[in-house]
Structure 1
Amino acid sequence: MSFGCYKPPQNFRVPFASYVEHCRLLKDRWDESSIQFQEKVLSKAGMSQLTALPTSFHYLPPRITLQLERQECETVLFAAVDEILSSVNVKPHQIGVVVSNCSAFSPTPSMTSMIINKYKLPVDVKSYTLAGMGCSVGPLALDLAKRVLTIHRNKYALIVSTENLTRSLYFGNERSMLVTNCLFRVGGSAVLLSNKWADRKVAKYKIMYTARSHMGAIDMCYRSVYQEEDANGTVGVGLSKDLMKSAALALQHNMRILGPKVLPLSEIFLYTLNQLKVRFSAKGEAKQYIPNFKLAFDNICIHAGGTAVIRAMEKALDLPFKYSEPSHMTLYRFGNISSASIWYELAYEESKGRVKQGNRVWVVGLGSGFKCCSAYLKALKTMDMSCSSQCWSDTIAELPVELPSTSHHCH
């Protein structure tokens, strides 16, 4: 039906100079070469000085407590849910399904229990808490909620997505683990779904298809984003050199699932012909044909994991900037906000007035596992800033901006 995105307050903002200064004041946590490395990543990350970090990071030294981890989660998710409930004629007691997703934070009681307690949801609510599933889980949670709604009739489903940065901060000097400190920023989203026939008149989108690809059976993909201890026993999430290759494999598999359902017959024919040619040609002689997904979709929202990831997807799908603009601008304004990023991107497209009735929207999540999950949404009405999330209200007129031509490899 609708969705909401958290907009961090101004006092959460952390300019690059402030971040680096804090690191230098914590000499017992990071050595000088690690600080210089983080400074270099920030300068090439395609992010602005407007990105935000939660309360815990603003203390010296940062305060990593369960209370602040929980506070970060509640602050973000409650604000996103409040934005939805203020824009639709749905009361909390009408919500019958809740799905939460957050990789690093899995408290007791669960994140879904936080939502149930705050909004006093009914006793028979069906709740699902997804943890450790990375940045791809936005469309995956959408797929789960959609499947639950096919069983339970006349229900509303609420999906909340965030990443907990208080829990995720890495206090070590392993470079592959330091990248996440630089890229991930505070953010979160809430999405409301309905299977009630009467809601078709007020709903913004209809879920047409979902596709999930999990490459975890391949060791290279499984280890490409991996949480472990460094040489000094400090826990962090490492990004391997095989990350981009893993993302490409997952995307290719996902396109094979979704392609036949969305592509015009001409593209399906060309792709089938190419597959036969590849199969019966000598190894390396025939090039793989990448179907033209621009013929299938009007708006594309690719997870804003980093400039390198977005540009790799541009190259793989042969996308001009107008299709990747929402991903680049979400990264620029908010940073990597994990599984919530696709909803900020869709809000960007709405705020720019680019989502018209009948538009076909493709949202693509990429993350650890390695997974690629995507969804095809059909716009049921024409949208603009007045009916979109207000997370872009203060910056949309100034965007897009010119971006640096190179970027550090990132998740």
Structure 2
Amino acid sequence: MLLTNKRALKHRAMFRFKCLVRTHHGARDESYGCCMQQQDEQGRLGVYLSKNLPKAASRAFVDNLREISPRILPISELLRFMVVSLVRKMSKTQTSSEAGGGTKPVINFKTGVDHFCLHAGGKSEIDGVKLSLGLSEYDIEPSRMTLHRFGNRSASSLWYVLGYMEAKKRLKKGYRVLMKSFGAGFKCNSCVWEVVRDLDLGDANVWKDCVEGYPPVSMANPFMEKIGWINQEFDPDTFKIPE
């Protein structure tokens, strides 16, 4: 991606950068050590993932959302969330049938964002963010299709996800895209881009040879029977925003 702050080139721009929030928990030992590159007993270099990874990811995710929400959501949505949270807190002593206390207040990020460009690091990660933000299958389709077609490309997967939206002609002038990623550190980064012109380039990017076949009729994984146990090690509920 080529970035510039020269106003003379704004007619060539595709997006306008709006804001960035970077959450880094490297000062916490369990967060720092949950994802590291190191050698195993045979001296082979690889990436070590500890059992603390879901907990560290959840903490960074929540802290990041808490900071970026006031920057991208309208005042009306923030006030609604505050009122619902206050009412729910006051009614905790009553039963769910009397006060409706069983409903958990959730911020509606769609009031300030049109599309969600999520880190395609894994199925459980995508499912967890979907649950936390209350997103639909349409919202996470670009991330899920990127994981299906290209696998986990680490931080660069975000540009594959954005490319999918462009290839599907979903990005129109004025739309805002929330981009969210996770990484070692442990860290969670979020930024917002505004589309400055209709992007109807169609198949003129990395998806050009296959975008017409996405989403596929079936997302069944032929290797699930052999390696499906790996999903049991990572609970998507760990990404849920705590009550």
Normalised by the length of structure 2, the TM-score is 0.79
| Residues in 2 aligned to 1:392 and 1:238: alpha-carbon distance in whole angstroms | 31
Aligned to 1:392: 207
- 1:258 corresponds to 2:68: yes
| Residues in 2 aligned to 1:244 and 1:328: alpha-carbon distance in whole angstroms | 20
Aligned to 2:238: none
Decide whether aligned partners of structure 1 residues 289 and 233 sit closer, same or farther in structure 2, where only a CA change above 3 A counts.
farther
Decide whether aligned partners of structure 1 residues 252 and 384 sit closer, same or farther in structure 2, where only a CA change above 3 A counts.
same
Aligned to 1:336: 152
Aligned to 1:355: 171
Decide whether aligned partners of structure 1 residues 209 and 344 sit closer, same or farther in structure 2, where only a CA change above 3 A counts.
same
Deviates more, 1:214-223 or 1:295-304: 214-223
| Residues in 1 aligned to 2:90 and 2:72: alpha-carbon distance in whole angstroms | 27
| Residues in 2 aligned to 1:380 and 1:232: alpha-carbon distance in whole angstroms | 52
Deviations 1:227-248 (A, max 9, x none): 2333444432112233233222
Secondary structure of 2:117's match?
A: strand
Aligned to 2:97: none
- 1:318 corresponds to 2:134: yes
Offset of residue 220 of structure 1: 2.9
Decide whether aligned partners of structure 1 residues 277 and 232 sit closer, same or farther in structure 2, where only a CA change above 3 A counts.
farther
| Residues in 1 aligned to 2:65 and 2:160: alpha-carbon distance in whole angstroms | 23
Decide whether aligned partners of structure 1 residues 316 and 341 sit closer, same or farther in structure 2, where only a CA change above 3 A counts.
same
Secondary structure of 2:197's match?
A: coil
Residue segments in structure 2 that go unaligned for 5+ positions in a row: 93-100, 235-243
| Residues in 2 aligned to 1:290 and 1:211: alpha-carbon distance in whole angstroms | 20
| Residues in 1 aligned to 2:22 and 2:90: alpha-carbon distance in whole angstroms | 29
Residue segments in structure 1 that go unaligned for 5+ positions in a row: 1-190
Aligned to 2:13: 203
Offset of residue 389 of structure 1: 5.1
| Residues in 2 aligned to 1:273 and 1:219: alpha-carbon distance in whole angstroms | 36
Offset of residue 395 of structure 1: 0.4
| Residues in 2 aligned to 1:224 and 1:389: alpha-carbon distance in whole angstroms | 39
| Residues in 2 aligned to 1:250 and 1:288: alpha-carbon distance in whole angstroms | 21
Aligned to 1:295: 111
Normalised by the length of structure 1, the TM-score is 0.49
Offset of residue 213 of structure 1: 0.6
Decide whether aligned partners of structure 1 residues 291 and 339 sit closer, same or farther in structure 2, where only a CA change above 3 A counts.
same
Equivalent of 1:374 in 178, 184, 190:
190
RMSD of Structure 2 on Structure 1 (CA): 2.8
Offset of residue 332 of structure 1: 0.8
| Residues in 2 aligned to 1:292 and 1:244: alpha-carbon distance in whole angstroms | 24
Aligned to 1:240: 50
- Bigger radius of gyration among the two: 1
| Residues in 2 aligned to 1:242 and 1:295: alpha-carbon distance in whole angstroms | 33
| Residues in 1 aligned to 2:8 and 2:16: alpha-carbon distance in whole angstroms | 13
> Does the Cα contact within 8 Å between 1:264 and 1:296 map onto a contact in 2?
yes
Secondary structure of 2:125's match?
A: helix
Secondary structure of 2:2's match?
A: strand
- The residue type paired with residue 332 of structure 1 is H
| Residues in 2 aligned to 1:253 and 1:287: alpha-carbon distance in whole angstroms | 22
Deviations 1:163-203 (A, max 9, x none): xxxxxxxxxxxxxxxxxxxxxxxxxxxx1111111222221
